[in-house]
Structure 1
Amino acid sequence: MPTITKSTINYDKRDLSDKTLLKLYYNMLKPRLIEEKMLILLRQGKISKWFSGIGQEAIAVGVTMALKPNEYILPMHRNLGVFTTREIPLHRLFCQWQGKASGFTKGRDRSFHFGTQDYNIVGMISHLGPQLGVADGIALANLLKKNGQVTAVFTGEGGTSEGDFHEALNVAAVWQLPVIFCVENNGYGLSTPTSEQYRCKHLADRGKGYGIESFILDGNNVIETYTKLKKLSESIRKRPRPILIEFKTFRRRGHEEASGTKYVPKELMEEWEAKDPIENYRSFLFSKKILTQEIDEKYTTEIKADIDRSLESAYAEEDIKPNETEELNDVYKPVEYQEVKPNEITEELRLVDAVSQGLRQSMEKHKDLVIMGQDIAEYGGVFKITEGFINQFGKDRVRNTPICESAIVEAGMGLSIAGMKAVVEMQFSDFVTSGFNPIINYLAKSYYRWHQQADVVIRMPCGAGVGAGPFHSQTNEAWFTKTPGLKVVYPAFPYDAKGLLATAINDPNPVMFFEHKALYRSIRQEVPTDYYTIPFGKARKVKEGHDVSIITYGAGVHWAVEVLQNNPEISADLVDLRTLQPLDKETILNSVKKTGKVLLLQEDSGFGGISSDISAIIMEECFEYLDAPVKRVASMETPIPFAVQLEKQYLGKSKLGQALKDLVAY
């Protein structure tokens, strides 16, 4: 039992019961004792890495106890107290840290990079910022459901420099979302002191710029943290709004243990060691005769026994045996395709109309579907896809957004976590770069990591041919076909666009849905009037032939149709892929085996495009059937120019006719 000294923190027990005061102490003591054990195991090589929260326990515990168990918390590395206060079995936590199957990620991720719906906890990713926007999405779901729930999300002072922080605060303020942003200002971002991270005196001051209430709390005072958070959360449940809280605290160990703390002045470390949240609180409880030595020893013995018992069971669990099939099957959430056959009544629609009609009918079918994007509400979107939607579905479900692609993608993820569906419209596919991080690192990996679906469709008007220049003309599907966990859809016809969009929205996995804007109003087709679906991974034969196979998608299909019309002597199999992930390998290979020659056509520039991978597949699986080398036709290796004559030169369409003739004559 340590020596009891006078507390250096001023506590005010207010009207808290002794039971609550002791519970606060127990809940802080538990993560501290676990951490002390983990540091020993780290030195013994029994865990690979540790991010210590020693000295910051009061924040995690106070916030978690202030919220209801069914309210979501999004913690970070130093918030072990969130997990233990929510009473996650230590066996599972220890298995997680040792990469065992009984952890939360099947050995696929480490430390606190996991979430669990069973305990309403959503863990972080290493990029820090995205979880703030995800919290917005969960809070939005709470707001729409009118369930009176609060969401709390953590970040450090270092994370407040990321764009995601500012985007998330702005969105929360504009939409008045019931979310508490908890900033743990612990003095250092790895080795960078706060003086080199920001210029404002207090991070809480940033809330003023977004019209958000903000507070500064002593992060080492568990009573202040708990009582203030309890009061604020009760207020937010009645009057939904965001609040920013800066917790003043200190990181007394390295960013992670290997980093050490040599860069921290000794006197600063000693100052904060004297403010230890557990030692000071223990002294306070003893002074008020609320905690006794007997109770303290009982708590310590009980927690240590749980730690030892849980460690023993975690050690006893067998190491994960790699299973290639299981790994591949867990990249996407399994989905049983729901076929809805088209009705016989049709009407001639442009591609833009088909997308709009399909989206409208999905909104009617899925009452929990929310669409978000810039200018999509009253204005109807720059391409008028959502024109009139606000009158039918209201502003709750058809939401104008600030210009913050990253936060809106993250909000879509949050809606999914909360059991809803989201469609996010990028005004142009080029702008998806501003939301690249959450798409690639959050949406694509969540199911593989901890079996959390990302029920988000991202619609992207794309492509050249309209003189829009380098920033409004890209067709960037290759960025996403490269990323396991994403599905990529790229229709060329109105019929396909409508049916595939319905399937995309039904699918619980993240779908990148490309819509070629040059085709929006130039391609017409008879389209069934009612709701229907088209399966992913099924290409369509546009033409049957025997001389050559043309494999393409999007605008390339129409380029090929035009070239074949101008060269009727060429008999070609024209395959429209429709979906790029999943890819219909069977149709591709069967066509190549039949014709013996193949031309792969894409609008994107050639190097690193999906045609390169299809070419490799054909060479590996159809080499003996080929009568000529695989031919790829693509656009120039330049950004997309504005002037019409330069754009025409850029596009692969100008090279298609001669390339096809040369291949047939080979």
Structure 2
Amino acid sequence: MQFDRKDKDDAELLALYKTLLYPRMVEEKMLILLRQGRIGKWFSGIGQEAIAVGSTLAMQSDEYILPMHRNLGVFTSRNIPLTKLMAQWQGKVTGFTKGRDRSFHFGTQDYKIIGMISHLGPQMALADGIALADLIANKKNATLVFTGEGATSEGDFHEAINVAAVWNLPVIFLIENNGYGLSTPTNEQYKCKNLVDRALGYGIEGLQLDGNNILAVYDKLSELASSIRENPRPILVECLTFRMRGHEEASGTKYVPQHLFDEWVKKDPVQNFENYLLSENVINEDTIATIKSKFKAEIEADVEFAFNEPEPIANDVTELDDMFYPYQQQVVAPVEAKTELRYLDAITAGLKEGMQRYDNLVIMGQDIGEYGGAFKITDGFVAQFGKARVRNTPICESAIVGAGLGLSINGYKAVVEMQFADFVTCGFNQIVNNLAKTHYRWGEKADVVVRMPTGAGTGAGPFHSQSNEAWFTKTPGLKVVYPAFPHDAKGLLMAAIEDPNPVIYFEHKYLYRSLTGLVPDGYYTVEIGKANILKQGEQLTIITYGLGVHWALAYLNQHPEISVTLVDLISLQPWDKETVANAVKATGRVIILHEDTLSSGFGAEIAAWIAEHCFEYLDAPVLRCASLDTAIPMSKVLEDSFLAKSKLGKAVEKVLAY
């Protein structure tokens, strides 16, 4: 291994050595604790320290780094106290996640480190969003994100690099190629000779480094970071190294041929750099012994301190509250002036108000730029707000939702449009595992609204018509809203944008141009979590939302002889239990109507809650009226038969017959 000190003096080299040695000694202590049974799991980065340390030192302290679980050197190089790290690893209340997650699955704004989730690839899109925020704000910052060679097979890797390339984002994508994804060797992971060759396919620069050479990593990453601060663009870096331990200690290394260990032990990054410094007379054996003795004593003390830290105390109220960023909505009342608007135009008006009110709001989605979106909701937005804040995206839902979270982490708000709600499946992981869990895990807000054009009635078939709100009402940490009228569509969208928590905003495509209503001018908000009583009656309560509201109104207009209380939920998470309970108590009979399929639809949750909390007030079983348990057909005849609307009359007759 050849080292080139360039213009570094002895003090700089010594500092590098200490920074490289420290995480190695921490890891060695962790392995002892593991054998003693004092800790339960460890993901070792022994043999890879030069990458984490060298690249971290190349970044400025205010620049974000997104590491993985084998990058202890990132955290120690940013001077996070070992007591705090150890408390995190042991699930102590003083850890970054208060015992809610382990390892490096956390972030910290204090040190500008954003940890991974177990799915490996999604953090790369977060790096895109963080870098995009810097780019829009004209900050000359770089962002560094790590991935392993195994995760380069994931779609998130390709989506994130493609977006960064198209948008010229200042991101260094660093692949730690250590030879194995758990037990799977590289020859079973990819076919290309070098992973860095993939850079060419995305039209970006790429280079390969000896990941065990601390000076090579530090010098080259310093150069690259400095370059992209001035000339924003992504760069792909492949660092060659080797995993000297198992994927995690329990998995062992029996699947690795011995000759590889024999080869790579000679390339040990710590020992080789130590030998180099000895040869340069920067250090001597006494220096080494003194440094190691000091580190050993500090590590021992910090570890024992963390072991004595308090365990979490389980409290249901605290746990539930911590799913969301602390926020108390202050409803903004509308002004007197109103304008007749289509449902679609009310959404447009809400987005415009949001963009005018928050200069840090960015809208992203497929075809939303000059084209104005598939439904023309953002028509004219580029001319009014500029392409920096109204961003056409590649077809990559996962990367764009992740970029939305990255924007939020770096001080921005984001609205992400799914062209159709059905397409959210391609971004599902980012929503349910990143947006939904971020605040609970490490206290960071996820200030992202995901717009979901949803629903049937247009003969669009199985992939453009689904009602998939129940996928998200089941997921703690998400707010889910579903306006049925233009007034609510505008006010609820502005409330969602204002809220620093992730909001899934369903908007029904069938209503876009078929429904009009009076909408207040200017800025106002509708309360999230509050239902509306549209009709007051005595015989029956119908609880519904979205297009179901209009089905119910049409049916009741045809049957004025039936006295019905009609509840429009508007919000599905949180939902208005008080209004529902009062309506149930007043009538004793309930139908829950929704467009989604019957089994496990959101109506099942409401029905269960009513049965549990309002049973003594019921004069008949709670009845669900929902769509058929099939995919949605395209044919108008089949679609009409599929939808819950066709079943409403019989449901009313049945429940009133009790």
Shorter-chain TM-score: which interval? over 0.9
Whether 2:488 is the aligned partner of 1:496: answer yes
1:338 counterpart residue number: 330
Whether 2:395 is the aligned partner of 1:416: answer no
2:188 partner letter: E
2:541 counterpart (549, 554, 566): 549
2:272 counterpart (258, 276, 280): 280
1:4 counterpart residue number: none
1:329 counterpart residue number: 321
Counterpart Cα distance in 2 of 1:358 and 1:321: 42
1:433 counterpart residue number: 425
Counterpart Cα distance in 1 of 2:384 and 2:169: 23
1:166 counterpart residue number: 158
For 1:333-482, what aligned pairs fall within 5 Å after superposition?
333-482=325-474
1:126 partner letter: S
1:141 counterpart residue number: 133
SS in 1 for 2:113: coil
Counterpart Cα distance in 2 of 1:320 and 1:643: 56
Counterpart Cα distance in 2 of 1:306 and 1:589: 59
CA deviation after TM superposition for structure 1 residue 360, in Å: 0.4
**1:454-502 residue CA offsets vs partner (Å, 9 max, x unmatched):** 1000001000000100000011000000000000000000000100100
**Contact residue 69 and residue 120 of structure 1 kept, 8 A:** yes
2:116 counterpart (106, 117, 124): 124
CA deviation after TM superposition for structure 1 residue 206, in Å: 0.3
Counterpart Cα distance in 1 of 2:377 and 2:12: 54
1:656 counterpart residue number: 648
**Contact residue 165 and residue 204 of structure 2 kept, 8 A:** yes
SS in 1 for 2:533: strand
CA deviation after TM superposition for structure 1 residue 665, in Å: 2.4
**Contact residue 90 and residue 306 of structure 1 kept, 8 A:** no
**1:549-580 residue CA offsets vs partner (Å, 9 max, x unmatched):** 00000000000000001111110000000000
Q: Work out the percentage of aligned pairs sharing the same amino acid.
A: 63
**Contact residue 605 and residue 636 of structure 1 kept, 8 A:** yes
1:185 counterpart (158, 177, 183): 177
Counterpart Cα distance in 2 of 1:347 and 1:56: 63
- The CA RMSD measured in Å over matched residues stands at 0.7
2:583 counterpart residue number: 591
Counterpart Cα distance in 2 of 1:113 and 1:45: 22
2:234 partner letter: P
2:262 counterpart residue number: 270
2:143 counterpart residue number: 151
Aligned length: 658
Counterpart Cα distance in 2 of 1:80 and 1:21: 20
SS in 2 for 1:633: strand
CA deviation after TM superposition for structure 1 residue 22, in Å: 1.3
Counterpart Cα distance in 1 of 2:493 and 2:346: 10
**Contact residue 94 and residue 310 of structure 2 kept, 8 A:** no
For 1:13-92, what aligned pairs fall within 5 Å after superposition?
13-92=5-84
CA deviation after TM superposition for structure 1 residue 661, in Å: 2.0
CA deviation after TM superposition for structure 1 residue 595, in Å: 0.3
**Contact residue 635 and residue 651 of structure 1 kept, 8 A:** yes
2:520 partner letter: P
2:200 counterpart residue number: 208
Runs of 4+ in 1 over 4 A off after TM superposition: none
**Contact residue 106 and residue 116 of structure 2 kept, 8 A:** yes
**Contact residue 353 and residue 523 of structure 2 kept, 8 A:** yes
SS in 2 for 1:118: coil
1:549 partner letter: T
CA deviation after TM superposition for structure 1 residue 292, in Å: 1.9
Counterpart Cα distance in 2 of 1:117 and 1:530: 35
**1:116-170 residue CA offsets vs partner (Å, 9 max, x unmatched):** 0000000000001100000000000111111100000000000000000000000
Counterpart Cα distance in 1 of 2:147 and 2:289: 34
Mean alpha-carbon deviation: is it higher for 18-27 or for 402-411?
A: 18-27
SS in 1 for 2:359: coil
**Contact residue 486 and residue 519 of structure 2 kept, 8 A:** yes
2:2 counterpart residue number: 10
2:145 partner letter: V
Counterpart Cα distance in 2 of 1:19 and 1:515: 61
SS in 1 for 2:22: helix
Whether 2:478 is the aligned partner of 1:486: answer yes
Counterpart Cα distance in 1 of 2:283 and 2:409: 40
Counterpart Cα distance in 1 of 2:459 and 2:411: 41
1:5 counterpart residue number: none
Whether 2:569 is the aligned partner of 1:577: answer yes
1:522 partner letter: S
Counterpart Cα distance in 2 of 1:438 and 1:20: 41
SS in 2 for 1:627: coil
2:242 counterpart residue number: 250
Counterpart Cα distance in 2 of 1:391 and 1:217: 44
Counterpart Cα distance in 2 of 1:338 and 1:206: 49
Whether 2:566 is the aligned partner of 1:568: answer no
Counterpart Cα distance in 2 of 1:373 and 1:62: 36
**1:262-281 residue CA offsets vs partner (Å, 9 max, x unmatched):** 01111111100111000000
1:119 partner letter: Y
**Contact residue 491 and residue 526 of structure 2 kept, 8 A:** yes
Counterpart Cα distance in 1 of 2:126 and 2:164: 11
**1:225-270 residue CA offsets vs partner (Å, 9 max, x unmatched):** 0000001111111100000000000001000000000011111111
1:556 partner letter: G
**Contact residue 46 and residue 98 of structure 1 kept, 8 A:** no
2:646 partner letter: S
2:514 counterpart residue number: 522
Q: Which runs of 5+ in 1 are unaligned?
A: 1-8
SS in 2 for 1:355: helix
**Contact residue 217 and residue 247 of structure 1 kept, 8 A:** yes
2:95 counterpart residue number: 103
SS in 1 for 2:534: strand
Counterpart Cα distance in 1 of 2:603 and 2:73: 50
Provide TM-score, normalisation by structure 2. 0.99
